[in-house]
Structure formats: structure tokens, C-alpha cells
Amino acid sequence: MLKKTLFALAASTLMTTPALAHSGHDVSSIASGLLHPLTGLDHLLAISAIAIWGSRQEKINPLALIIAFLFMMALGGVLGIQGLLIPGVESAIIVSVLALGLLMARQVQLGTATGIVMTMAIAFVHGQAHGGEVANATALAYIAGYLISCAALMAAGNKAGQWLNQRPRLTLVLGSAVSLTGGAIALG
């Protein structure tokens, strides 16, 4: 089952487009929200990496990490819909991909508070980007779809992380690939 999950994550990565992140795509429905995390390379990498990294944490409950992530993504999205946007959201998203890849590759352990706060900050900027791009009656449907898809990706990433816990070299390679891809997105 875990091999199938990893294969699905890898296949999704190959089918994504770089940083479609935050303009020029359909934001009119729950279906578009469901698809975006699977077709935006920056989001697919960040969400998968944080779930894989979180599964390895000794002091942080992975479920608490997932809940914190989804809550802050929703909060960032709602504030973005209302036009309350922080500057530098796109740069923060790229930095999150780079940082998460490094954390994953190096198998960094963080304390509970530090790990949860970092997770919440990353989720908030991702939510901000999406809230800022939608400001119509379908915005909540889009955000709901996005959150459902993120929850599914995080659950799959957590399972993949549990499998990867037994394969530290593969974790190093995958984490490095996440960071390198984040760098390529930044340059592209």
C-alpha cells in the first residue's frame, strides 16, 4: 500500500506544472479547489514534504500537525478573500518548499512549539495565496475543495513518511529533490 502511495505522489509530481500558484487558473468551484494542490508543483511539494517530515517527528503528533496546517491554511485563505494579504506571499511559498526539502532531507527534529509554529506559518502563506486570487461567491467552495485535497495529500504523505522512516537514504534523496525543485521554481 505504501509503495502505491509513493508511486501516486511521484506520478502527481510529474504531472504538475510549476508554480501555477496564484493566478490564471480556475477558482470557480469545489472541483477546481480539489485539483489545484495536485496540479500546482509548489503546493504538491510543500504539502507532501511537510507531511513526510512531520511523520518523522518524535515530539510532534502528526495529526496535530495536519490539523494545524489545515486550520491556518483556511484562516489565510479567508483573510486573503477579504483582501488582507501579507506582502511577499509568492516568495514565502518558494522559501517554504526549499526549507521543507532541507528539513526532510536532513531529517531535522524540532520541538513541538517550533514545529507547529513553522507549519502554521507555511500553511498561512499558502492559504493567503489562494484567498487572494478568489474574491467571489464561489470562493468558499474553492477553499473547501482545496482543503479536502490538502488533507488527502497530507494523509498520503504521512503514510509515505512512515515507510520512508526505514529508508533514510531515500529520504535524503527525496528531500534534496524537493529543495532543488523549489530552487528551479524560484529561477523559472
**What is the residue extent of each domain of the chain?**
25-187
- Whether the predicted pLDDT of 5 surpasses 70: no
**Average pLDDT rounded to a whole number, residues 112-128:** 95
Per-residue model confidence (pLDDT) at position 9: 40
Could you write out the DSSP letters of every residue in 5-51?
A: HHHHHHHHHHT-BTT-TTSSS--SSHHHHHHHHHHBHHHHHHHHHHH
172-181 tens-digit pLDDT: 999 999 999 9
CA–CA distance, 88 with 22 (Å, rounded to integer)? 13
46-99 tens-digit pLDDT: 999 999 999 999 999 999 999 999 999 999 988 988 888 899 998 999 999 999
Q: Sign of the CA dihedral 76, 33, 64, 71? A: positive
Q: Are 17 and 40 in contact (CB under 8 A)?
A: yes
Q: Label residue 137 by pLDDT band (50, 70, 90).
A: low
